[in-house]
Amino acid sequence: MELSTGIYESLIYEALKKKLDALNKSQYAVNTLSIDSAEVPRLLTNYISKILSRLLTDDKLFEGLEERIAFINKILHFIEGEWSCDTADDLLVVQNYLLSGIISRAGKNEQQIKAYNLLRPKSGFTVSNLFTGSNHDLSLQSEINLDIQSADEIYWIVAFIKFSGVRIFKDALSHFLERPDARMHIITTSYMAASEPKALQFLKELSPEKVDIRVTYDTTLDRLHAKSYIFLRNSGLHTAYIGSSNLTKSAMTGLEWNIRVTSQENPQIIKAALATFDTYWNRPDFEPYDEERFRRAIYAEQHKNDSEHPTVLARYMIRPEQKEILDKLSVAREVHHSFRNLVVAATGTGKTVIAAFDYKRFHDAHPDHHNLLFIVHRKEILEQSIRTFRSVLNDPTFGELWVGEYQPSATGNLNHLFISIQTFNSNRELFTRMRHDFYDYILVDEAHHSTANSYRILFQQFNPSVLLGLTATPERADGQSLLPDFDNRIAAEIRLPEAINRMLLCPFQYFCIGDDTANLLNVRWTAAGYDESELAAKLNTRNRLNLITATIPKYLADEMNCRALCFCINIEHARTTAEGLREAGYRADTLTGQDSEERRRRVLERFETGKINYLCVVDILNEGVDIPEIDTVLFLRPTKSLTIFLQQLGRGLRLAPDKDCLTVLDFVLQAHHNYSFESRLRPLLCPSDKSIASQIKEGFPMLPRGCAITMDKIAQKYILDNIRSAIFNQRRIVNEMQLFQTNTGRELTLSHFLEQFDLDIRQIYKNNKCWSLYMKLANQVRYEEDKYTNAYERNLSKLLHINSIGYISFIQRLIANNFMYEHAGKEAKWALMFYYALYNAPIGRMGFSTIDEGFRTFAAHPLFVEEVKEMMSWLKEHVDLATRLIGSLPNDVPLELYGCYSREEQLILFGRITAEKNFSAQSGIYKVDEKTELLWVTLNKSDRDFSPSTQYEDYAISETLFQWQSQNTASHDNAGRRYVDQAQTHQQFLLFVREQKKDAYGLTESYYCLGPVRYVSSRGDRPMTITWRMENEIPGKILEKAEKLRVG
């Protein structure tokens, strides 16, 4: 073939190499990619398959079937001889027919047995096919009929099901369901009342025991648009239809496009479809079908505008990102002993639901002491909140409202009170007579108001067991901080990408516009960022205003009717900008802290009603202002504070009717090297270890759904230059350390350095470096090099993953007690773990007779001892999961649920690695004793972000179910029996999970211990695909990474 310019994904074979070598390199550039180790089997299989196909279709080489079979058998003999693989069972027998079925003769005559061959779909089972509804296509309906009758299990997931769409399959489904082992699983919705109750009841009544249906009863939930029909067969010849056809007559017979894929040709697609189905099936919002409940939901949707109709009660489900917030609150209280907690989450992201579930946990844990005071400044919030709490607690009478016309009932009490701050202060005499500990749990919603004088009496009067504050804006416009009331820390935050993916916030289209009207490289930098006066002088110019007004119509769909917030440097900049916008023909005004209450109200009203389209403000729009219709944000100044930046962006992310996205115009200037574009962009992206620079170059592959970030050439250059200049390589770290005390006035410590530059601690410990080594390179300390210091420099990074408070506290005690410890039980195991973290070698190889000798040697290097002390303090402060010992293990195995461990540490805990002997376990399983086996899972086996051939092997189906793929040799009739027979043999399997082999800093990732698992089901052989049930729920932090198929 002749080489054309364009994109390739080809292995390099000899003929291709010659053509590449012959290319004129001055005219053509040749790009290459490293081969992903996870994709090697697929790439090589596809390559040899094409060659074999080419050879086997050549009639000049082979006369008939017999010669072609002989050719294949020669290849198998060659493999057996070359690699000692037993291929005898794989040799082809010379027969000129295919096996087409194995049919039980029980209850069937010969004619019925022969008829089974007629049930084969015309498309077959090896090649995929596209159905377009044209006259020349096979009929979609007839093919699905045949797939139904030849299947052993059926999985359908469709948004809408109508009777006209299912009755045409009645005979085929009845035939299928006659078989004893037949099973049918259906997922659908009640969205828009499009599905017909008669259709679902028809399907259920075909066989109530064999047809299982799950639906969403929320008629407003529109997240499911999938249309897929999956057919599994015991023979492994699976098929699936994926496309645009709902289960309706018009969709089955109209001009809809659907592709039928086969497991022979596209196994990864079948695997992905089935895995996604399993994930949906186990989500709490898909519930078992109940005829009466479904009819009520459909009726309510159809009559929602009527004055009276049946109400479908709200049912709240905790989402993984919300569960992570709850986990962090537990850690704050159980680990850090902080009971005054602040949660930050954008308006609309479910703060009240989180609070209700947090209170439910508290209520259940304290059955005799759970008095609640819920306080906020607005009646509407109280009405909604008490409904939410009643739903979560499943108690329609829970709580009393006290606001406006609502007052506690005569038979009620004040034990669970939802009250406005105004009502609270009006009745302060009553509350001051109460005990200080009368309320066990106090919740302050819209907590940014809590610094107001009206809230002081609340904080002075009551001392609850738990104080929870909820806010979208932790930094107030008046500069007062909320944090002193909440132990000076934010306990947890909901990240922006999660909220957008959950459709709690609207997506954004973010445009970075290169701005060459000013250069900020030499603007004075202070602890708070740019010097405000110098910055204003640079940016408040006519040239820049001209750029802004010329840019607006290029990016906005309707620049004359938008609602845009323009964030400015100071009041003068806001006024100048508004004046320039008005001169350009736009309706613009300002809103600043100097405005009177009356002007503020009037301006906001005009902005809300569209009489003003551009509102120029400073920092954040006044707290308490909530205008969902804001559809445009202009960043006209760089903001150092990430919190303020996200609040400014969040002002435009509220959902509103007819608002499809937020448009963001960010005017990007050449920035000071201390300004970080990377930290500004990172929170907009889904979690990934991929660098921001590579994401920019690749077009931002990790954005939330529906979002886009676009950069013009100038903006991209400025941002990439800034990121490159901000990279903390060895030279930058050393330079910053040398100037640290001079520039900051603070003592140079590890924690101070990380905090000052907002660095990940792994930045210091990558590439076999450590803090003491950097201190030496920066001429801050001196020490003599020896084999021990070399070991510490290389190995201290092995401590970074520790998240067990017990183990951290042991290391702190060990150092404080001059390395004295209990030489038995868990302390002996922890001591050995710490020894290997220091030396990574058995005692003999290091010249020690005991590990205690190794500790004495370590104690003789006080700089490194001090470094470990500081590491442990930092790690303890940043623990974000509450771990606990696994009760089913012996006392001398201090393995903790949700603890993070390397393989080596796990084997130490189980006594397989000793002080004298170390070894490395290579496979994904390890049997530590007759009854206990460790299962090690790496979720992303690929060297890259995505591998279609391995993506769906191991993942969390839900917080209580996990799909795991065994070793390639395991099957139901050999070693795999130990999994299936677990209930009888009482074998204990412990699951350990990590996201990837190496993190973004090149450090080997450790595994989170998810604890014991119980066998649920399995399918396939060599390898087996097994579903495990977790004995303990997967924490939200890990679930987000392990739940690869979660949508919304």
Q: How far apart are CA 276 and CA 649, in angstroms?
A: 32
Largest interatomic CA distance in the chain: 103
Residue type, position 700, single letter:
F
Q: So what's the pLDDT on residue 413?
A: 81
- What is the secondary structure of 386-450 as a DSSP string? HHHHHHHHT-TT--EEEBTTB---TT--SSEEEEEHHHHHHTHHHHHTS-TTS-SEEEESSGGGT
Q: So what's the pLDDT on residue 189?
A: 87
Strand ranges (E), 647-793: 662-670, 708-711
Ranges of residues in the chain with a pLDDT under 70 are 1, 117-118, 135, 219-223, 303-315, 347-348, 410-412, 451, 473-480, 619-625, 943-952, 1044-1048
* 446 close to 420: Cβ distance less than 8 angstroms: no
* 963 close to 1045: Cβ distance less than 8 angstroms: no
Q: How far apart are CA 549 and CA 546, in angstroms?
A: 5
Segment 826-833 long-range contacts (CB within 8 Å, at least 24 positions apart) = 826/891, 826/892, 826/893, 826/894, 828/892, 829/892, 829/893, 829/894, 829/908, 829/909, 830/806, 830/894, 831/855, 832/908, 832/913, 832/914, 832/915, 833/807, 833/905, 833/908, 833/909
Tokens 């004088």 found at: 453
- What is the secondary structure of 139-151 as a DSSP string? PHHHHHHHHHHT-
Q: How far apart are CA 645 and CA 681, in angstroms?
A: 10
CATH architecture for the domain at 114-302 = 2-Layer Sandwich (3.30)
Q: So what's the pLDDT on residue 621?
A: 64
Residue type, position 711, single letter:
M
pTM to 2 decimal places? 0.76
Distances (CA, A) of 762 to 59, 693, 832: 62, 18, 23
**CA quadruple 896, 898, 900, 905: dihedral positive or negative?**
positive
- Which DSSP helix (H) or strand (E) runs through 812? helix 805-816
Q: So what's the pLDDT on residue 410?
A: 67
* 245 close to 252: Cβ distance less than 8 angstroms: yes
Of 143, 170, 119, 155, nearest in space to 259 by CA: 143
Tokens 């924690």 found at: 751
Kindly list the domain boundaries of the chain, sorted by start residue: 14-90, 114-302, 320-494, 500-718, 730-885, 921-1042
Alpha carbon 555 to chain centroid distance?
Answer: 31
The three state secondary structure string of 169-187 is: HHHHHHHHHCCCCCEEEEE
Check for a shared fold between 320-494 and 500-718. Answer: yes
Of 426, 432, 488, 495, nearest in space to 458 by CA: 432
* 258 close to 241: Cβ distance less than 8 angstroms: yes
* 23 close to 3: Cβ distance less than 8 angstroms: yes
* 90 close to 74: Cβ distance less than 8 angstroms: no
Looking at the domain 500-718, which fold is it? Rossmann fold (3.40.50)
Q: So what's the pLDDT on residue 307?
A: 44
Looking at the domain 921-1042, which fold is it? PUA domain-like (2.30.280)
Distances (CA, A) of 519 to 309, 681, 718, 1003: 63, 21, 10, 38
Q: So what's the pLDDT on residue 778?
A: 96
For the record, the structure tokens of 902 come out as: 């390397």
CATH architecture for the domain at 320-494 = 3-Layer(aba) Sandwich (3.40)
Classify residue 353 as exposed, middle or buried by CB count within 10 Å of its CB (0-12, 13-18, 19+): buried
